[in-house]
A and B are shown apart, each in its own frame.
Chain A
């Protein structure tokens, strides 16, 4: 008995949204939490952000980026197909309260994590600034949704194809230098982006929360592969996080640990792409 895909939509070149029937997960899911799924019977367990839930209908929306075999496999599933394993909600929910003015920074794919967070922060009465950044304009996701949910919305692109040319930190620095008062910052994205946000906000003394994305296996606190160093202490991101105080996180360690299986991941992905190619052209065209 699997979990049925009710809707599938392409958000960007490699970004895909899936609405999945998972009533047990939907019932208790809160912003900041994630699910773990296994795309097929020989698949690995991968953590993905919960972008949205509909408790009444028992639906969970996930957004993911195709980066390797598992996500590629997932992206090839169609509406009506079933995902064999889908467990959650996992991790601690985000601490949501009325902080005052909050800035939410999404870098590249991290923007998917921001989406439920921005909604919850807004509902809690915050003044919400969103900075949505990507390498290039075509890689920006959830633009309309975030624009609608936020009080102020900014875009940055590395190549300047849209919004400010530069990084999300450049925009944040600009706002701060222009005298904007910000009570709390949330940043989700690639590790170097989160690290540079942390460096910036440390100087301005603004509490900053990051959502970390280490490698996970079970996601239930059992294996410890997701261990991160926070303030000199080892924490398991799956049960103690995934959100932590950015000023205490050892980002260099996180980056190294994320790279642990890079070569094997690449090998597996290439093998799979070749398999797909052979399937499309059985006689080598």
Chain B
């Protein structure tokens, strides 16, 4: 290392004031200024063996793009990112960098890691502000059609990778807007929808066709796409869209939403702008959100912005076991959301019109670690107590919708999780020609892991289509170690 003094402090990113920001759906984190970005980029040691790249599920060439920033070549920087990730403005905002690239940064040992995500966001937004859209090289058309089911992060990345290789790619999306969880799930104040739109437009500019209002499994089946419509391979990136409920008494009372419904109404349907937009939502004065993940944080923070006066997060374990990003927990706390740990609802009681009024909570204690490595909560007998609520959001997880598996013979599903069985190294499912990746295979996870899975699948779809006639090609892909 050079004799230059190491700066171990991260350049902070400006955020809106909590008191002000809870009144609107405007983005909370404001992003780096050019000055901030230059300052932060100058801290990068430009390691010859960069661990950060290993920590990135899509292997962005991180030191190279940061070097471009120090040279003030921001467009050059975004170009380098886009070679590996077509969604820099999205990933710069919602990736859990602290668990990935930034976790691996060598500066961690001495101080704070490089704020890689903030830098990624800075260059992506810089490009957007100039109205530019750098495109990578696109290979000559191969004349082969590939269908991508679902337009969330896995599908978008898979499609863009295949388009770059010269494939004729069509994305099929069941909703009326492309982006999957990026549009229906993640709220505006964390990921503005204009950004998602821009990234989708960029992917279209690579030649990808996006067909919305097309529900694969019902509108057409996978077999029809392959046998009748001329698609030689299919990538399934349909995510985990089926909300889990707890199955406790009173769960169908009015005012109890799944997180999916609550967030879809707000994000996709813009219910917070009712009556300008037609979809309504009812958010009472006191809201309880059940769950400890990012979706729970999103629902809680959305509730405040939709007019709730008091919002609780109800979580059956403790803060240490919460799966939400530290940054999101912090944001929620700053905004005045109250966390109740080691409690779990056991039933709901309603009024005569069927609206939820009270939830009965039971205290929990932590026992031995379970298969996730987190200590398993168990109920404390006789500890039930009531909590008056007007609205409840159940955010305890999502599993894949069964519709595609049910309508596609040969596609095997994990009996317990409902996820598609696929080789994680290649994306190959149990059905030849059909690949899958993202939450539909792993269960609910992160945007970038889905993007990484889409990228991997694209590589092996290309390999498969180049070697279709090789004997046992599918066994090779499905059993790859």
Binding site for B on A (CB under 8 A): 24-25, 27-28, 38, 42-45, 69-70, 84-90, 217-218, 220-225, 227, 229, 234, 239, 253, 256-257, 259-261, 264-265, 267-268, 271
Query: Which B residues are CB-close (under 8 A) to A69?
Result: 278
In the bound complex, what is the Cα–Cα distance between A259 and B245 (angstroms)? 22
B175 at the interface (CB under 8 A from A): yes
B260 within 8 A of A: yes
The answer to whether A220 and B254 touch across the interface, beta carbons within 8 angstroms, is no
Question: What is the CB-to-nearest-CB distance from A276 to chain B, in angstroms, rounded to a whole number?
Answer: 14
CA A142 – CA B130 in complex, angstroms? 58
Does A217 lie within 8 Å of B279, measured CB to CB? yes
Distance of B241 from chain A, by nearest CB (Å): 4
Q: What are 28 A-B pairs at a CB distance below 8 A?
A: A24-B214, A24-B220, A25-B219, A28-B218, A38-B176, A42-B270, A43-B277, A44-B269, A90-B215, A218-B264, A220-B174, A220-B175, A220-B215, A220-B241, A221-B403, A223-B258, A223-B260, A223-B265, A224-B245, A225-B257, A227-B245, A227-B252, A234-B251, A256-B354, A260-B282, A264-B274, A265-B280, A267-B275
B269 contacts A45, CB within 8 Å? yes
The answer to whether B258 and A88 touch across the interface, beta carbons within 8 angstroms, is no
- Distance of A88 Cα from B401 Cα, bound (Å): 16
CA distance A191 to B42 in the complex (A): 67
- Min CB distance B204 to A, Å, is 13
A43 near B278: Cβ-Cβ < 8 Å: yes
| Chain A residue with Cβ nearest B401 | A221
State A264–B264 Cα separation when bound (angstroms). Answer: 18
Residue-by-residue, is B333-363 near A (CB-CB < 8 Å gives 1, otherwise 0)? 0000000000000000000011000000000
Residues of the B chain whose Cβ atoms lie less than 8 Å from the Cβ of A225: 257-258, 261
Q: Is B367 an interface residue (CB 8 A)?
A: no
Tell me which residues across on chain A come within 8 A of B280, comparing CB atoms: 261, 264-265, 268
Is chain B's binding surface mostly helix, strand, loop or mixed?
Answer: loop
Question: Would you list which residues of chain B between 250 and 287 have a CB under 8 Å from chain A?
Answer: 251-252, 254, 257-258, 260-261, 264-265, 269-270, 274-280, 282
Contact between A229 and B275 (Cβ–Cβ < 8 Å)?
no
Q: Do residues A223 and B243 form an inter-chain contact, with CB atoms below 8 A?
A: yes
Q: A86-B213, A88-B215, A229-B252 are in contact. Are A220 and B401 (CB under 8 A)?
A: yes
Say whether B242 faces chain A, with CB atoms less than 8 Å apart. Answer: yes
A259 to B176, CA, bound (A): 26
Given known A-B contacts A45-B176, A85-B176, A223 and B403 have beta carbons under 8 A apart? no
In the complex the two chains form, what is the Cα distance from A229 to B250 in whole Å?
11
| Number of A-B residue pairs at CB separation under 8 A | 118
Q: Give chain B residues whose Cβ lies under 8 Å from the Cβ of A271.
A: 275
| Chain A residue contacts of B278, Cβ below 8 A | 42-44, 69-70, 268
Chain A residues with CB under 8 A of B258: 223-225
**CB contact between B264 and one of A38, A222, A229, A256 (< 8 Å): that residue:** A222
The answer to whether B176 touches A84, judged by C-beta atoms less than 8 angstroms apart, is yes
Within 213-245 of B, Cβ neighbours of A (below 8 Å) are at 213-215, 218-220, 224, 241-243, 245
**Interchain CA distance A87-B278 in the complex, whole Å:** 18
Picked from B175, B247, B257, the residue with its CB within 8 Å of the CB of A234 is B247
Q: Which of A84, A85, A88, A259 contacts B219 (CB 8 A)?
A: A88
What is the CA–CA distance of A224 and B219 in the complex, to the nearest angstrom?
A: 21
The 10 residue pairs across chains A and B that have the minimum distance between CB atoms: A256-B354, A223-B261, A264-B280, A85-B176, A87-B213, A44-B278, A44-B279, A224-B258, A222-B241, A221-B401
Interface positions of B from 93 to 142, Cβ below 8 Å from A? none
Task: Give min CB distance, B399 to chain A, whole Å.
Answer: 11
Residues of B within 8 A of A28 (CB): 218-220, 224
> Does the CB pair B243–A224 fall under 8 Å?
yes
Do A89 and B219 touch across chains, with their CB atoms under 8 A apart? Answer: yes
> Any chain A CB within 8 A of the CB of B212?
yes
A25, A27, A84, A224 interface centre (most CB from chain B within 10 Å)? A224
| Nearest CB of B to A115, in Å | 21
CB-nearest residue of chain A to B262 = A223
Residues of B within 8 A of A227 (CB): 245, 252
* Contact assessment for A87 and B176 in the assembled complex, using a CB-CB cutoff below 8 Å: yes
Once the chains are docked, how many angstroms separate the CA of A237 from the CA of B417?
22
Q: A253 CB to closest chain B CB, in angstroms?
A: 6
Interface centre among A221, A227, A271 (most CB of B within 10 A): A221
- The CB with the most chain A CB atoms within 10 A, among B251, B264, B270, is that of B264
State how many angstroms separate the Cβ of B172 from the closest Cβ of chain A: 10
Interface 0/1 of B60-73, CB less than 8 Å to A: 00000000000000
Q: A87-B176, A261-B280 are in contact. Are A220 and B275 (CB under 8 A)?
A: no
Q: Is the CB of A42 within 8 A of B261?
A: no
* Also in contact, A222 and B243, with CB within 8 A (given A44-B269, A257-B254): yes
